[in-house]
């Protein structure tokens, strides 16, 4: 069973790559640091011998850190979705600290009860070195570009990576008898991955995530600049479900977040996502909801960051006026010219592959669900309709305003009052698949038996996320595939 554990695989492959890479790297560093072979060591100045010894020791640590980093790259991406280019540099400091901590623990074990004062000293030393190692690691993570979240590589990619690494550092891959064949194989591998990359550029993946009564739709387009996130669930769902999911997709920054309504079950996690990822642009509809939480979120994205303040008693280039505030009072300086990160979309507007169908700027509904933002996406010829939690009055208004509602896939949540997808709306959309974003808890967010019976009569495949879990839609050129967590597929 240990063969399938991340710790065993990391330990094995890291030690294997260290064993293969370290001797050649040490030989290279020794060659670079070697002095004139005809000059005896005794004739070298003392400072030069000391410097050479120090540089040789440092090069050993660098080579060890580089080998360990190379051996862990694909497995770190597989299990932790992380790639850290500063790891070799951080290990140069962290590994000696870890070694000193282990030495201190060994000293404590040797001294035991017969020399208690030394045992206590060693224990405190081990604690100090462990805290120092943790502090060093945290400092390196704050360097810009210190780490990136990356998508999970396939086992084929991992196998090819280790095969090339082992073959190259053992010398087997580029032996004279195999050099021609090895070069040809490497070219074929590079051509295969280039072809796969070209194919993936035309693919768009939509994922519907049920989030504790709300739901989110993540659109993973070619290139991270084209990604969209529609809704984010409440704070708990964003922290424990959506955040790990986005990191597993290799998302380091949320370019656009669309809030379709004001329900906390769909928008409550906005602040959490902005803290962990940073949200480039917040997109909402034109309706001014009465929700205080909604207004708070929108205001944060409309206003620039907090202004700079100056306090009396601190250095300041401005002269002190006679009617200056008391010591300790804050006085704002000029606000920086920072553009608003909030964008409003009205009915008829287009943004990327999306077209806004509802609501309009002058709409005024009694229920907030009736003013939910409705988006129609066209992805390589596949039309996807996002209805959010649109209520019955909103559905009627949508039908009265447009005749272009046909879509291959329709995704709808559950409004607080009434049911989604009335019969007239279904007849206008004519979908091939319906995805109902309901959930087990709370009970009010479960699709009712009446809704299930009514949709079953339409003879259209219906997927309920309460039963199937997350739904993934992979859109290719003029075709699409749908799969769920319970292994159902469709196209």
Mean pLDDT of 406-421: 92
Residue whose token pair is 């060591």: 41
Smallest Cα–Cα separation from 265: which of 245, 242, 248, 286? 242
| pLDDT value at residue 336 | 52
Q: How far apart are CA 418 and CA 387, in angstroms?
A: 14
Backbone angles phi, psi at 28, to 5 degrees: -65, -45
Q: How far apart are CA 11 and CA 164, in angstroms?
A: 19
Tokens (6 digits) for 186? 């490497």
Q: How confident is the model at residue 2 (pLDDT cuts 50, 70, 90)?
A: confident
The DSSP secondary structure of 97-154, one letter per residue, reads HHHHHHHHHHHHHHHTTTSHHHHHHHHHHHHHHHHHHHHHHHHHHTSTTS-EE-BPPP
- Residue 218 bridge partners (DSSP): 207, 229
Q: How confident is the model at residue 134 (pLDDT cuts 50, 70, 90)?
A: very high
- Asked if residue 356 lies in contact with residue 345, where contact means CB atoms within 8 angstroms, the answer is yes
Smallest Cα–Cα separation from 162: which of 74, 81, 68, 83? 74
HSE on the CB side for 99, CA within 13 Å? 7
Backbone angles phi, psi at 254, to 5 degrees: -90, 110
Residues 338-385 have pLDDT tens digits of 678 899 999 999 998 899 999 988 888 989 999 999 999 999 889 999
Backbone angles phi, psi at 293, to 5 degrees: -65, -40
Task: Read off the pTM.
Answer: 0.83
The answer on pLDDT for 329 being more than 70 is no
Residues 158-201 have pLDDT tens digits of 999 999 999 999 988 888 888 899 999 999 999 999 999 888 88
Q: How far apart are CA 424 and CA 485, in angstroms?
A: 31
Tokens (6 digits) for 37? 């072979």
The answer on pLDDT for 328 being more than 70 is no
Q: How far apart are CA 461 and CA 435, in angstroms?
A: 9
| pLDDT value at residue 344 | 93
Q: How confident is the model at residue 21 (pLDDT cuts 50, 70, 90)?
A: very high
Q: Is 395 exposed, middle or buried (0-12, 13-18, 19+ CB in 10 A)?
A: buried
Q: How far apart are CA 17 and CA 263, in angstroms?
A: 52
In angstroms, the Cα distances linking 457 to 155, 415, 453 are 43, 21, 7
Q: How far apart are CA 146 and CA 251, in angstroms?
A: 15
| pLDDT value at residue 465 | 94
- Residue 437 bridge partners (DSSP): none
Kind plus residue range of the DSSP H or E element containing 384: strand 382-388
| pLDDT value at residue 432 | 95
| DSSP strand pairing (228-230 vs 254-258) | parallel
């Amino acid at each position: 069973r240990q063969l399938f554990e991340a710790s065993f695989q990391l330990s094995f492959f890291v030690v294997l790559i260290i064993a293969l890479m370290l001797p050649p790297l040490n030989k290279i560093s020794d060659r670079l640091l070697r002095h004139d072979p005809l000059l005896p060591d005794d004739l070298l100045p003392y400072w030069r011998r000391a410097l050479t010894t120090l540089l040789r020791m440092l090069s050993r640590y660098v080579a060890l850190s580089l080998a360990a980093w190379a051996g862990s790259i694909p497995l770190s991406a597989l299990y932790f979705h992380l790639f850290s280019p500063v790891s070799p540099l951080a290990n140069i400091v962290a590994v000696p600290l870890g070694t000193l901590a282990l030495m201190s623990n060994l000293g404590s074990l040797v001294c035991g009860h017969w020399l208690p004062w030394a045992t206590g000293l060693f224990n405190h030393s081990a604690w100090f070195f462990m805290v120092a190692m943790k502090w060093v690691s945290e400092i390196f993570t704050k360097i810009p570009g210190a780490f990136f979240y990356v998508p999970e590589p396939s086992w084929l990619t991992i196998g090819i990576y280790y095969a090339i690494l082992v073959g190259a550092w053992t010398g087997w891959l580029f032996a004279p008898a195999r050099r021609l064949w090895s070069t040809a194989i490497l070219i074929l591998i590079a051509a295969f991955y280039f072809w796969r990359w070209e194919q993936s550029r035309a693919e768009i993946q939509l994922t519907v995530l049920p989030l504790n009564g709300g739901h989110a739709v993540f659109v993973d387009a070619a290139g991270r600049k084209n990604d969209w996130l529609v809704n984010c669930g409440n704070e708990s769902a964003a922290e424990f479900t959506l955040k790990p999911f986005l990191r597993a997709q290799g998302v380091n920054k949320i370019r656009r977040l669309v809030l379709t309504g004001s329900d906390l079950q769909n928008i409550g996690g906005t602040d959490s996502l902005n803290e962990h990822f940073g949200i480039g642009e917040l997109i909402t509809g034109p309706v001014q909801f009465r929700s205080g939480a909604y207004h708070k979120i929108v205001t944060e994205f409309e206003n620039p960051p907090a202004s700079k303040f100056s306090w009396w008693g601190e250095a300041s280039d401005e002269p002190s006026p006679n009617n200056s505030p008391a010591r300790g009072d804050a006085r704002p300086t000029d606000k920086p010219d920072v553009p608003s990160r909030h964008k409003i979309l009205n009915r008829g507007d287009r943004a990327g592959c999306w077209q806004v169908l509802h609501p309009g700027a002058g709409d005024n509904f009694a229920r907030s669900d009736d003013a939910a933002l409705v988006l129609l996406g066209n992805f390589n010829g596949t039309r996807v309709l996002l209805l959010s939690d649109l209520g019955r009055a909103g559905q009627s208004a949508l039908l009265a305003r447009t005749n272009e509602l046909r879509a291959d896939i329709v995704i709808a949540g559950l409004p607080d009052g009434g049911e989604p997808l009335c019969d007239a709306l279904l007849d206008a959309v004519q979908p091939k698949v319906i995805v109902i974003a309901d959930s087990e808890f709370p009970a009010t967010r479960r699709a009712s038996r009446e809704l299930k019976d009514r949709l079953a009569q339409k003879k259209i495949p219906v997927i309920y996320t309460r039963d199937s879990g997350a739904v993934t839609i992979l859109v290719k050129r003029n075709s699409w595939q749908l799969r769920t967590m319970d292994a159902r597929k469709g196209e």
